[in-house]
C-alpha cells in the first residue's frame, strides 16, 4: 500500500538554487495538497489542486510554484531557494473536494537551505 509517496526524503540546497519536490498518489484521488511545517508548529497550506488541471494558492504560496502533472502527480517547485524555506514539506491527497473526506499524507521531505 504505497498511498502518497514523496521524493526526495531529505535535501540540502544552497541559497538561490532551484528544486522540485515530487508527490505521487496511487489512490485515484482527485484533490492534492502541499503543506509546510516549521519546527514546533502546525502545517500551513502552500498550494492545492482540487482536481486535475486546476491549482490554487493556499495560505503561504510566495516563493513556490506547483504543477498538477496528471491525476497522480503534484509537484512543488522552489525557483530560488531561501533560508526561510527550510522546513518539512508534506503532500496530501483526498478523494475529492467534499469537506467530509479525510486527507492522506506522505511522510514528508525534509529540506534545508543554507
CB count, 10 Å around CB of 49?
Answer: 20
Nearer to other proteins, 11 or 103 (CB): 103
Q: How far is the CB of 84 from other proteins (least distance, A)?
A: 19
Confirm or reject binding of residue 99 to other proteins (CB under 8 A): yes
* The dihedral formed by the CA atoms of 29, 105, 43 and 86, expressed in degrees to the nearest 10: -110
Cross-strand partners of 68: 74
Q: Which three cell numbers stand for residue 85?
A: 524555506
**Strand, helix or coil for residue 83:** helix
Could you tell me the smallest distance in angstroms from the CB atom of residue 64 to other proteins?
15
43 or 78: whose CB is closer to other proteins?
43
- Residues binding other proteins (CB under 8 A): 4, 31, 33, 35, 40-45, 48, 50, 56, 58-59, 90, 92, 94, 97-108
Amino acid at each position: 500500500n504505497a498511498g502518497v509517496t514523496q521524493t526526495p526524503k531529505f535535501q540540502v540546497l544552497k541559497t538561490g538554487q532551484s528544486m522540485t519536490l515530487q508527490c505521487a498518489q496511487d489512490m485515484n484521488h482527485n484533490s492534492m495538497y502541499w503543506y509546510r511545517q516549521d519546527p514546533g508548529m502546525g502545517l500551513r497550506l502552500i498550494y492545492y489542486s482540487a482536481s486535475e488541471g486546476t491549482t490554487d494558492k493556499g495560505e503561504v504560496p510566495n516563493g513556490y510554484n506547483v504543477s498538477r502533472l496528471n491525476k497522480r502527480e503534484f509537484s512543488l517547485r522552489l525557483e530560488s531557494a531561501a533560508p526561510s524555506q527550510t522546513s518539512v514539506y508534506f503532500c496530501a491527497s483526498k478523494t475529492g473536494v467534499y469537506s467530509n473526506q479525510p486527507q492522506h499524507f506522505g511522510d514528508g521531505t525534509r529540506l534545508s537551505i543554507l
